[in-house]
Chain A
């Protein structure tokens, strides 16, 4: 039992790492039907900028808002350069290539600025584990789970309760109608990209003390997060959390009970099953696309 608890804890912590990244996919999809495939790289940039700031002697907690500002700017740049031209000409796929391209550019820049070696991110919390219900958790893991949930709640609250959030929702529901109602949809889309990269950068500094920090950290995590977004549903914040936890626990338990050589398989099999039977994801709303 203790083993299973430990596996579930680690699975949840791992799953929340995926979920915070996947949440960023959901944010931009919600407004513009586009995804930032450079999400993993936004995360990596956030973590590395955070590391530099901490290296300059800044306190971890004070550094977070600065990294968020950086993330928001970075996201806005991605939208202006990569996505807006594609949306303007109503290109279906232009944004895919341009966000991937920007992601690669960011990665190369990071390699030149910070090198390609993995660096250690000093942990703001004690690194000795806590005992909880018979299994061990790191304080940092708790911070990731709590931080991720708070961030998602804040964004959900913003979308549902504030006037600006309503503009975001309206843009998602019908971009043209929203425009006719006087909503500056272009600005809303830029804003959603800024918000999405902000969450990614925040996620980066949140998880960096647990993973290692380096220019290549985004690639694997970004891909896993994409799987989470598909499983949970690209339109549902709740689905992302559940999808992340499912994938995380699937990985740790398969690793233990089956074989560590196959630990990535069940999550991906699940992905295929979801795509076959519920293409909008476990919690996604099935949208009817009128042609």
Chain B
């Protein structure tokens, strides 16, 4: 008995001294759907994250320690996301987590990080409420470097109503949190323009027939379709239009750039437009080296990143976190969070150069002036407007006063 007690003490001491050595890695959790309908976003995000971590580790890591990624597949399921959050926090003891593609998963899982005082960087999920979930708490641990829906919805409406002059539009959104929150934002943005959608329709994940939804939009005289959904079902909408022999432009959230939309819709999917924070074009030296390294490391089909936006945002999210950990000189959650809210040195990313991306009351790194419009053309996403392409080398930086975002309200 005495022996075993001493043995335990010895082991505990050894473990403690081991933990104190500077060499053990900084664990960062990565949670996203690497399989299923949103996997083209999840995998691209993960690859972007891996690329950034590799580069940082090659250059000596952060605080002299290497970054170790703990990747988990949340399968776009809320309950899986919750399990993973608990595992990453309690068992893996991560310093921070990046990821979340699906708004529903983010909302379900991030409360555990909030309670554990561990920062979360949402690098893809766009639901407006994500960063507002704990707005009233004394400390909010939820950050985001993706274009949220209160930016995207007005951009979509601006494009459809103002720039292209459509007067009658129909909204087609899926029945998930993502689709329905997005639909609400679209309706709000349309209302600000004094436009009422002629039809608002819903569809389920895995629906194979969109005839009813499209006929309703057609009968109501819609001149354009505004979408909020993910790749496979968006492709079914495009295919459904081909079938009905009724072709109107599709303008929708950034998911219209997903590879599984472009591939499954084929020629019928051409011309769809969506807001993008990043388009796979080497318009700055940073973007060029990112694209070259990404293609070299992961070798995607046809030299096309499945979801360039997710890859770029995933990559940037790690650099933002690394900068914060470096500035904090510590991996403790509250200190990292404080550093994120007050980043001293600008961080050069792929999407933009982040100078003071976050503050105490503002956890959104992307503002309405940053995204541009992309268009599906020749089976890839290109700049919809040549002017944007010409000016792409001027990096658009965060402008907290940028107009065009809906005022976010907590629901």
Supposing A127-B242, A251-B209, A252-B211 touch, asked if A120 and B263 sit within 8 A by C-beta, the answer is yes
A211 touches B208 (CB 8 A): yes
Supposing A116-B39, A212-B236, A260-B203 touch, asked if A7 and B215 sit within 8 A by C-beta, the answer is yes
Supposing A115-B35, A120-B264, A260-B201 touch, asked if A17 and B208 sit within 8 A by C-beta, the answer is yes
- 108-128 of chain A: CB within 8 A of chain B: 111, 115-120, 127-128
A129 touches B212 (CB 8 A): no
Q: Does A6 contact B (CB under 8 A)?
A: yes
B232 touches A7 (CB 8 A): no
Residues of A contacting B201 in the complex (Cβ-Cβ under 8 angstroms): 260
B232 touches A129 (CB 8 A): no
A118 to B40, CA, bound (A): 10
Q: Does A263 contact B (CB under 8 A)?
A: yes
A6 to B39, CA, bound (A): 34
Supposing A129-B242, A129-B244, A251-B209 touch, asked if A261 and B202 sit within 8 A by C-beta, the answer is yes
Number of contact residues on B: which range applies?
A: 20 to 34
Residue of B nearest to A111 (CB): B35
- 345-364 of chain B: CB within 8 A of chain A: none
A37: shortest Cβ distance to chain B, in Å?
18
Residues of B contacting A251 in the complex (Cβ-Cβ under 8 angstroms): 209, 212
A263 touches B212 (CB 8 A): yes
Residues of B contacting A127 in the complex (Cβ-Cβ under 8 angstroms): 242, 266, 268
A214 to B243, CA, bound (A): 22
CB within 8 A of A136: which of B204, B231, B243? Answer: B243
B244 touches A6 (CB 8 A): yes
Q: Does B145 contact A (CB under 8 A)?
A: no
A189: shortest Cβ distance to chain B, in Å?
32
A256 touches B216 (CB 8 A): yes
- 227-283 of chain B: CB within 8 A of chain A: 231-232, 235-236, 242-245, 260, 263-264, 266, 268
Residues of B contacting A128 in the complex (Cβ-Cβ under 8 angstroms): 242
Query: Which label, helix, strand, loop or mixed, suits the secondary structure of the B interface?
Result: helix
Q: Does A159 contact B (CB under 8 A)?
A: no
Supposing A116-B39, A117-B260, A120-B266 touch, asked if A260 and B202 sit within 8 A by C-beta, the answer is yes
Q: Does B285 contact A (CB under 8 A)?
A: no
Q: Does B213 contact A (CB under 8 A)?
A: yes
Q: Does B391 contact A (CB under 8 A)?
A: no
- 1-24 of chain A: CB within 8 A of chain B: 3, 6-7, 10, 13-14, 17
Residues of B contacting A115 in the complex (Cβ-Cβ under 8 angstroms): 35, 39
Q: Does B36 contact A (CB under 8 A)?
A: yes
Residue of B nearest to A255 (CB): B212
A6 touches B35 (CB 8 A): no
- 29-43 of chain B: CB within 8 A of chain A: 35-37, 39-40
A252: shortest Cβ distance to chain B, in Å?
5
B215 touches A3 (CB 8 A): yes
B208 touches A256 (CB 8 A): no
Provide 17 A-B residue pairs closer than 8 Å at the C-beta atoms, listed in order of the A residue.
A10-B212, A116-B39, A117-B35, A118-B37, A118-B231, A120-B263, A127-B242, A128-B242, A210-B208, A212-B236, A221-B208, A252-B209, A253-B212, A255-B216, A256-B212, A260-B202, A260-B213
A216 touches B206 (CB 8 A): yes
Residue of B nearest to A253 (CB): B212
- 240-262 of chain A: CB within 8 A of chain B: 251-256, 259-261
Residue of A nearest to B265 (CB): A120
B101: shortest Cβ distance to chain A, in Å?
14
A252 to B213, CA, bound (A): 9
Q: Does A276 contact B (CB under 8 A)?
A: no
A6 touches B40 (CB 8 A): no
Residue of A nearest to B206 (CB): A220
Q: Does A138 contact B (CB under 8 A)?
A: yes
B36 touches A116 (CB 8 A): yes
Residues of A contacting B209 in the complex (Cβ-Cβ under 8 angstroms): 10, 13-14, 251-252
A137 to B209, CA, bound (A): 13
A212 touches B264 (CB 8 A): yes
B232 touches A212 (CB 8 A): yes
A118 touches B264 (CB 8 A): yes
**6 closest Cβ contacts across the A-B interface?**
A255-B212, A116-B35, A10-B211, A211-B208, A256-B212, A118-B232
A115 to B260, CA, bound (A): 13
Quick one: CB contact mask for B190-229 with A, threshold 8 Å, 1 for yes?
0000000000011110101101110110010000000000
B260 touches A118 (CB 8 A): yes
Residues of A contacting B264 in the complex (Cβ-Cβ under 8 angstroms): 118-120, 212
Residues of B contacting A14 in the complex (Cβ-Cβ under 8 angstroms): 208-209
Residues of B contacting A261 in the complex (Cβ-Cβ under 8 angstroms): 175, 202
